[in-house]
Amino acid sequence: MIEDPSEFVALAGPVLAADPARHTITLTALDAISRDGAPVEMMLLAREAGEVVGAALRSPGRHLLVEALPVRFADAAADLVARHDLDAPGVSGPVAAAEAFGRALAARRGARLEVETRSRLFRLGELVPPVGVPGAARPAGQDDVDLLAVWRAAFAVEAHEPGHTPVDSAAEVRRSMRLGSAEVLWEVDGIVVSQATARPVLAGMSRIGPVYTPPEHRRHGYAAAVTAAASRWALDAGADPVLLFTDLANPTTNALYPRIGYRPVHDRVDLALVRG
**pLDDT reported for residue 167:** 60
pLDDT band at residue 164, thresholds of 50, 70 and 90? very low
Statement: residue 116 has pLDDT above 90: yes
What rounded mean pLDDT belongs to the chain?
A: 94
pLDDT at 168: 79
Q: How many residues are listed for the chain in this entry?
A: 276
CA dist., res. 138 & res. 80, Å (int): 47
160 pLDDT band, cuts 50/70/90, is low
Q: What is the average pLDDT across 42-53?
A: 96
Residue 97 CB partners (closer than 8 Å, separation 6+): 66, 67, 69, 71
User: CA 249, CA 195: separation in Å to the nearest integer?
Assistant: 21
pTM above the 0.85 mark? yes
pLDDT for the residue 163: 44
